[in-house]
Structure 1
Amino acid sequence: MRADRLMAVLLLLQRRDRVTAADVARELEVSERTARRDLDALAMAGVPVYSTQGRGGGWRLVGGARTDLSGLTAAEARALFLVAGPASAATPAVRAALRKLVRALPEPFRAQAEAAASAVLTDPQRWGSSRVEPRPPHLLDDLQDAVIRGTQVRLGYADSTGAATERTVHPLGIVAKGPFWYLIADTPAGRRTFRIDRVSTAVPTGDPVHRPAGFDLAASWRAIADEVERRRTPLESRATCAPDGLARLRMILGDRLDVGGPTADGRVEVVIRGYNEYALASELAGLIEWLEVTGPPGVRAHLAAIGAALAARYA
């Protein structure tokens, strides 16, 4: 990410007459020591930047110099704007500044640079309790390039059962969720999601992607992730919760918790999704200080059995 930071520091210098190491540290959410190293690195790389000491001191560009981006190659422009996209770890202010660089790019590069800025999305939440270590799949770069260029791809793919298929898809975006990467694409059978580590081949056809008007990668992924979670946790349990326990429930249950309205006795109605009755009862047993489960009867029966077993062992 250091190249990201150096570009962001340069943009700050161009936007402001003067910056201090504290300004850079606050804007980029790094330490002042790291900010000073980055400023020194710019000077050593030949950027006309200098520092002044004392009151009103800081770092400035010599003569208000500005960076000429006309020498960027198409690949460099795409790489730069991938940094500015939703997957970026930079602050919103830095991402906004990077996107403004589109205006400084040569005309032939602008479309791909803008596409790169919205090509990749990061969803930090893992599926369930997966502990698989992140490892970018070998065809990730090829598929990312197809999204940016807007090129259809002939995709070889093996599903979760190992059945192999081949189809032509319209790549729309890429999502990183926990250790896994997904391609969202339109197909003749409708919109589909492909886990990229299961892609065996990805051959560009040269035909342009038919991108739906108003397509939003983040909104599309939210709908997909919500549907997956509903399938993974088909059971709904109803309960009431003490108000002071809601924060704990949200922390433990995340998106599987839906909060309703207040009850007559001042508690709060909630609905909790789980995999099956026993698994959900086992999970909710540790929350009984705040929670009273009202249904379904199977979950209540499992809770009673768990309570009796605990009482028998620890009474």
Structure 2
Amino acid sequence: MRTDRLLAVLLLLQRRGQVTAAEVARELEVSERTARRDLDALATAGVPVYALRGRGGGWRLVGGARTDLSGLTASEARALFLVAGPASVAAPGVKAALRKLVHALPEPFREQAEAAASSVVVDPRRWGAGPDGHRPPRFLDQLQDAVIRGVQVRLGYVDREGAETGRTVHPLGVVAKGPAWYLVSHTEAGRRTFRIDRVSSVDPTGDPVHRPEGFDLAESWRAIADEVDRRRTPLGARALCTPGELGVLRIAFGGRLEVGGAAADGRIEVVVRGHDEHVLAGELAALVDWVEVTGPAGVRDRLASIGSALVGRYA
């Protein structure tokens, strides 16, 4: 993260002309001691920055506030803002500083830098129990480049059954979901999501992407993930939980738990989602001291069967 901070400090100097260690610390959400070390590091690395001592002092770039950062290449500018994107995992202070300072970039680089800043979402919660490998898929860079440049691509894609198809898509963003990567795109059939490790070929067409008005990658991904979760867990068991044990349910079920309002007796209405009545009943049976399942009937019947079996074996 230090490289990101140093770049952020450099752009902060470009924007303001003069900054204090306290201002840098506040912008990047670090200590003043860390901010001073970063400013010293820029000077040591040969960046033309110098300190003004005394009242009204601070740090300045040689040449004043209009020092040109045109030494950045287009790819470097894109990489810088890719790190700082609103949906990335960079530190909040670094993200905010770099986004505010986009106008410090040379004019030709601004549009793609801003596109890079919103091209990726990181969703740490994984789906299923797939491999833990962290090697990025083969065509990740090419697809991200298409997102940033805003060009359509001809996509070769292999489905779950191993059949390969081709289609032209409008890339809108890429998402890291646990160890897997997905492409969010617009197609003739509407919004579609593709696993990038199943992409077999990428051929940019040069035609511009048609981006839906008001499209936001993070919001779109939340809707996609919610829909996938609903399909993976179509069954919802309704229950009442004692307020003090709601935390236990959150730990046990995570994103499969939906919390409602309070019932007349003070207990909390909840819904626990799952795929199978038998498995879901087994999970809920362990929480019998705190949870009363009110529906559906199939889950309640299975819980009664589990109770009878336990009494028969352990009474």
Q: What is the percent sequence identity of the aligned residues?
A: 70
Give 3-state SS (helix, strand or coil) of 1:173's partner. strand
* Cα RMSD, aligned residues only: 2.9
Give 3-state SS (helix, strand or coil) of 2:21's partner. coil
Match of residue 59 from structure 2:
60
String of CA shifts for 1:4-50, please: whole Å, max 9, x gaps. Answer: 12212334556563216x964x7656688876764453232112445
Q: Does 1:229 align with 2:233?
A: no
Larger mean Cα displacement after TM superposition, 281-290 or 235-244: 281-290
CA spacing shift, 1:195–1:62, aligned 2, 3 Å: closer
- Partner AA of 1:19 in structure 2: A
| 1:12–1:19 CA contact under 8 A, matched in 2 | no
| 1:13–1:19 CA contact under 8 A, matched in 2 | no
Q: Does 1:186 align with 2:221?
A: no
For 1:268 and 1:94, how far apart are their aligned partners in 2?
40
Match of residue 18 from structure 1:
20
- Partner AA of 2:297 in structure 1: P
Q: Does 1:220 align with 2:232?
A: no
For 1:124 and 1:2, how far apart are their aligned partners in 2?
23
CA spacing shift, 1:302–1:28, aligned 2, 3 Å: farther
CA spacing shift, 1:10–1:289, aligned 2, 3 Å: farther
- Give, in angstroms, the shift of residue 252 of structure 1: 2.9
Q: Which runs of 5+ in 2 are unaligned?
A: none
For 2:30 and 2:248, how far apart are their aligned partners in 1?
30
Match of residue 270 from structure 1:
270
Q: Does 1:138 align with 2:138?
A: yes
| 2:4–2:94 CA contact under 8 A, matched in 1 | no
String of CA shifts for 1:144-187, please: whole Å, max 9, x gaps. Answer: 00000011101000112211100111111111111111101111
Give 3-state SS (helix, strand or coil) of 2:264's partner. coil
Q: Which runs of 5+ in 1 are unaligned?
A: none
CA spacing shift, 1:308–1:32, aligned 2, 3 Å: farther
- Partner AA of 2:84 in structure 1: A
For 2:137 and 2:232, how far apart are their aligned partners in 1?
25
| 2:121–2:217 CA contact under 8 A, matched in 1 | yes
For 1:102 and 1:60, how far apart are their aligned partners in 2?
21
CA spacing shift, 1:138–1:313, aligned 2, 3 Å: same
Match of residue 164 from structure 2:
164
Aligned residues: 312
Q: How does 1:1-315 map to 2 (within 5 A)?
A: 1-11=1-11, 15=16, 17-19=19-21, 24=25, 28=28, 38-49=38-49, 60-61=59-60, 65-66=64-65, 68-130=68-130, 132-311=132-311
CA spacing shift, 1:52–1:3, aligned 2, 3 Å: same
Give 3-state SS (helix, strand or coil) of 2:138's partner. coil
- Give, in angstroms, the shift of residue 295 of structure 1: 1.5
CA spacing shift, 1:160–1:36, aligned 2, 3 Å: farther
- Give, in angstroms, the shift of residue 253 of structure 1: 2.1
- Partner AA of 1:97 in structure 2: A
For 1:112 and 1:28, how far apart are their aligned partners in 2?
23
| 1:150–1:208 CA contact under 8 A, matched in 2 | yes
TM-score normalised according to structure 2 size? 0.87
For 1:52 and 1:102, how far apart are their aligned partners in 2?
26
String of CA shifts for 1:223-253, please: whole Å, max 9, x gaps. Answer: 1111101110011111111111223223332
String of CA shifts for 1:99-128, please: whole Å, max 9, x gaps. Answer: 233212232222111111111111121114
For 2:60 and 2:282, how far apart are their aligned partners in 1?
62
CA spacing shift, 1:32–1:3, aligned 2, 3 Å: same
CA spacing shift, 1:311–1:6, aligned 2, 3 Å: farther
CA spacing shift, 1:17–1:109, aligned 2, 3 Å: closer
- Partner AA of 1:18 in structure 2: T
String of CA shifts for 1:30-77, please: whole Å, max 9, x gaps. Answer: 688876764453232112445799x99x97336685552222221111
- Partner AA of 2:45 in structure 1: A
